[in-house]
Amino acid sequence: MIGKTRLGARLAAFLLPLCVASAVPAASLAPEVLVEKGQLTFGVAATFAPFEFKDGTQLAGFDIDLIQALGKKLNLEPKAMNMEFKGLIPALQGSRVDLINSAMYINPQRSEQVDFVPYLKIGNQVVVAKGNPAKITGRDDSLCGKTIAVTLGGIQETQARQDNERCTKAGRAEVKVLTLPTAQDSALTLRQGRADAIFDSTPGAVKLMTELSGVFEAVGPEFESNTRIGLAVRKGDAAMKAALEAALKEVVADGTYARLIAKWKFPASVSLLN
């Protein structure tokens, strides 16, 4: 029979390599193959406040702050390539960027094209003009016959087209899906009365209603509230995926992740990491 002392020593010897492996600094995992040496080139569509947007000439938002924190952990300088959302995955697949950092909703179709590193979960809301002149009650049959403004190529376009299909199959009036280049364009179209509603992330809806409380309001319950968003890397790019995962763990451990959630006034429910 092995004594307790000898058993403890053997167990410690077995566990030590695992502990050491789990403590490997993220910087040591930084990929060597990059678009530009020493830089973390990321694709972003800066049209989705409060995740990424233009503040004057500068990019701002939760994702912009997050990539700066991740870059520090990896000893790489983040470099943004701002483009239309629909061009992000082609840019990644064509090796013009190292990753996509643009609040990309994770779904089966995208997961066939890229690999994801999830970092938040969010819901969505229907936003209407203050006073709700179109009498919309949420993401339901009250949308039939209405116009919804959405960002071209974004998840909201998919959701609106699903609603149109549901309405027409039930013999109701179709949903007119008005596609626009940015989320800001959609909000402006709603404000001008050229659309009856928009779909927005819950954090985005909160930002709109905080900044323009007399202009917009949310109606109906939050929908798809467990939607995950993630950083996207090329399919099979294990090195980049591992580096980002390690950097994220360090950003969570030092409190930066929680501070960014608080800074951008996100609800606590968005947290996917702890």
pLDDT in tens, 124-154: 999 999 999 999 999 999 999 999 999 888 8
- With contact defined as beta carbons under 8 Å apart, do 113 and 89 qualify? yes
Beta-sheet strands, E only, within 83-152: 99-105, 114-129, 147-151
pLDDT score at 11? 40
Domain with CATH 3.40.190.10 in the chain: 32-122+227-270, 123-225
- For 228-269, the pLDDT digits (tens) are 999 999 999 999 999 999 999 999 999 999 999 999 988 888
Distance between CA atoms of residues 156 and 189, nearest Å: 15
Q: How confident is the model at residue 23 (pLDDT cuts 50, 70, 90)?
A: low
Mean pLDDT of 152-165: 91
pLDDT score at 238? 96
pLDDT score at 9? 46
Mean pLDDT of 24-28: 88
- Is 50 exceeded by the pLDDT of residue 12? no
Helix, strand, coil share (%) of the chain residues, nearest 5 = 40, 30, 30
Mean pLDDT of 44-53: 92
pLDDT, greater one: 10 or 155: 155
- For 182-216, the pLDDT digits (tens) are 888 999 999 999 999 999 988 888 888 888 889 99
**C-alpha dihedral sign at 117, 122, 124, 127:** negative
Structure tokens given for 123 = 């819901």
Which CATH code is given to the segment(s) 123-225?
Answer: 3.40.190.10
pLDDT score at 24? 81
pLDDT score at 210? 86
- Is 70 exceeded by the pLDDT of residue 21? no
Nearest to 149 by CA among 185, 194, 198: 198
pLDDT score at 2? 45
Give 32-122+227-270's CATH code, choosing from 3.40.190.10, 1.10.10.10, 3.90.1150.10, 3.40.50.300. Answer: 3.40.190.10
- For 212-230, the pLDDT digits (tens) are 889 999 999 999 888 899 9
- For 67-110, the pLDDT digits (tens) are 999 999 999 999 999 999 989 999 999 999 999 999 999 999 99
